[in-house]
Amino acid sequence: MLAYTIRRLLYMFPVLLGVAALVFSLFNTVGEDPVRVALGQHATPESIADLEAQWGLDQPLYKQFLDFLVQIATFDYGRSYDTGEKLSDMFAAGAPVSLSLTLPPFVIGLILNVSLGLLIAYYRGSWLDRFSTALFIGAMSISYLAYIIGFQYVLAYRMDWFPISGYEPGIEGLQFLLLPWIIYLVVSVGPDVRMYRTVFLDETGADYVRTARAKGVSENRMLFGHVLKNAMIPIVTYSMVAVPFLILGAFLMERFFSLPGIGDLMITAINNGDFPVLKGLTMLIAMGYSLIVLLTDIVYAWVDPRVSLS
């Protein structure tokens, strides 16, 4: 178990090194030239050279890459080309906004959608199953962008039930977050419930279910006692990998509702060729992702001894 944990922990390094190389090559060698973006039309050869020197872009590539690795190791990604702010400050300001946008509907959605999936799996083959399948496929067939535009127009602009956009920290900010939460839940209910239904139905075909039935366990006990417990592994896998991306927020929603979160930060950075911000955010998200994957795997190995043997 310990050996397995250490092995998995060490494996994070080559993956993160790969991410660093990918991010570096995407933005330092092939992306738009940030110096030209920053100086615009009035660039002169001298001003370009000055700015390149200031940002360290006149160094050879291998040197720039080594600097980037040092930044990753020290969690110090430098300052934004655009605003001159430190990335750590920008991240600290944006992360609470993004999390308050995505975390509550993520938790509510997890409970709600797993329950709905279980309910529909219980009534498999009935009219409820068929009706909900048709409804959820319908919900999944509308563009995410159309949901945002439609809900914002009808519920905020026409009905005036919610403010159209804006953000305030603290409890007053709740009014701005309710509508994005609703959209998040509406968009996720279709794919999630269908996924969980499939997970539960896969389990009901397993040998242990037949054994349980054979020894006379009631259908209810079987579903809630046996199947739910076993289905937790795929459910945890499916939902946990989304966790690091919660910090990224739902960037489209942050745009439409003027929420100053990480997703909005990233889109702005993309538009401005703001490399320190982009590289820093990507590395932080990749680290978060690797850590979560690692944690999930360790939890599995702990719950299910067969995992660590392979």
Partner 1 sequence: MAERRDSLWRRAGRQLMKRRGVVICFVIIACYLLVALLGILGLLPDYQERVGDSYDPPSASFALMLGTDIFGRSVVYKILAGTKTAMLIGLVVPAIAVPIGVTLGALGGYFGGRVDAFIVWFFSVISSVPYILIVIAISFVLGKGMLAICVAMGTVGWVGLCRLVRGEFIKHRHREYALASRLLGAGDLTIIFRHILPNVIHVAIITASLQVLGAIKSEVILTYLGVGIQDGSSWGTMISDAAGELVQGIFWPLIGVVFSMFFVIYALNVVGDALRDALDPKLLD
Binding site for partner 1 (CB under 8 A): 14-16, 18-19, 22-23, 26-27, 30-32, 137-138, 140-146, 149-150, 152-153, 157, 202, 205, 245, 248, 251-252, 256, 266-267, 270-271, 278, 282, 285-286, 289-290
For the bound state, the minimum distance from the C-beta of residue 84 to partner 1, rounded and expressed in Å, comes to: 23
For the bound state, the minimum distance from the C-beta of residue 17 to partner 1, rounded and expressed in Å, comes to: 9
Nearest residue (CB) to partner 1, 75 versus 224: 75
Secondary structure class of 248 (helix, strand, coil)? coil
Nearest residue (CB) to partner 1, 13 versus 123: 13
Nearest residue (CB) to partner 1, 135 versus 232: 135
For the bound state, the minimum distance from the C-beta of residue 142 to partner 1, rounded and expressed in Å, comes to: 6
Interatomic CA distance for residues 157 and 149, integer angstroms: 10
Q: DSSP string covering 39-75, please?
A: HGGG--HHHHHHHHHHHTTTS-HHHHHHHHHHHHHHT
For the bound state, the minimum distance from the C-beta of residue 194 to partner 1, rounded and expressed in Å, comes to: 9
Nearest residue (CB) to partner 1, 217 versus 260: 260
Nearest residue (CB) to partner 1, 176 versus 251: 251
Q: DSSP string covering 250-267, please?
A: -HHHHHHTT--SHHHHHH
Query: With the CA atoms of 273, 277, 278 and 280 taken in that order, what torsion angle do they form, in degrees rounded to the nearest 10?
Result: 150
Interatomic CA distance for residues 223 and 191, integer angstroms: 22
Residue owning tokens 């200031």: 54
Angle between helical axes of 275-303 and 87-122 (0-180°, round to 10): 40
For the bound state, the minimum distance from the C-beta of residue 255 to partner 1, rounded and expressed in Å, comes to: 9
